[in-house]
Structure 1
């Protein structure tokens, strides 16, 4: 049986409960430790205002490029399992969370199932996703426009650079 070819995927990470920076770093390490995933590049770390539900603490956000032999749905299941193991509880939409780990894109694949839509259907509206993603994939094309072009169209007010060192996740 031939091994699966490696695909490039992009993950979005965030959180605002507990120690979100430590939680995101732990999630990235868990991905990187697997034989079927490898963290290729991680964005700088951003502090971002809450979005959708604004009466909560600010978030920390990041993005990562990974190489993986997992198919998209298996990658989603991995992300959800990491969230569960790190005590992520889904109580309210856009509510506070210890960790959020989203599959943003998987190569240039476009798909829509009950469980997963790729590219992530709302990422082009969210500066807290686009800003870190632009660090690792500025020319990634989403709906015929680059991440950088999408970022120029959204309101990024309030987003602060929290750590310019892209290795923040190795020392958190």
Structure 2
């Protein structure tokens, strides 16, 4: 994986609703930053959320990470998919239960209509489990092409999520 000196402000959303959800998130955070090219900026509090779409399933634990990326969007996608696969992520049922889900929400001003990597993430504006934790980290954040995150929050106010201050994950070492 090649890195460059160009840095892109990058937002990642992580979720888990199978197995030890909190441990799954921590393992993913550590793995994301094990390889060069991602510089950690911030980590949101943990949220517990009801699933959005898909079959009936257990609640998710979610966090958002903000980083500067010095890798290409495609390289970051490859890293994300490798981490999901290493943690037994299966894709048998669309929006089904999973040990780990990592979404690249945005990478600077990069836009992509590649079906494997849509940027910015096309459904981020519809997901409280992305917007609320992201707003905790960056109250003035903007989702490219969609507007300020705080202005998008009222549209997802009906989605069930709660901040879990009794749970935490650690920033990468």
| TM-score (normalised: structure 2) | 0.89
Q: How do residues 47-86 of structure 1 correspond to structure 2 at under 5 angstroms?
A: 47-53=48-54, 55-86=56-87
Which residue number corresponds to residue 150 of structure 2?
148
Tell me whether 29-38 or 100-109 shows the greater mean CA deviation.
29-38
Q: Is the 8 A contact 2:43 2:171 kept in 1?
A: no
Matches within 5 A, 1:128-167: 128-142=129-143, 143-163=145-165
Which whole-Å CA distance do the structure 1 matches of 2:162 and 2:120 have between them? 25
Q: Is contact 2:125-2:146 (8 Å) kept?
A: no
Q: Deviations over 1:48-86 (max 9, x none)?
A: 011102511111011000112111111111100100011
SS in 2 for 1:52: coil
Deviation at 1:34, TM superposition (A): 1.8
The answer on 1:12 being equivalent to 2:13 is: yes
State the aligned residue count: 169
SS in 2 for 1:14: strand
The Cα offsets for residues 85-138 of structure 1, whole Å up to 9 and x where unpaired, read as 111111111110000011000012222113111110011111122111212233
Q: Normalising by structure 1, what TM-score?
A: 0.89
Mapped to 2, the partners of 1:164 and 1:119 lie a distance apart of: 31
- 5+ residue gaps, structure 1: none
State the distance in 2 between where 1:160 and 1:84 align. Answer: 28
Asked if 1:40 is matched to 2:41, the reply is yes
How many angstroms apart in 2 are the aligned matches of 1:153 and 1:105? 20
Following TM superposition, by how much is the alpha carbon of 1:154 offset from its aligned partner in structure 2, in angstroms?
A: 1.2
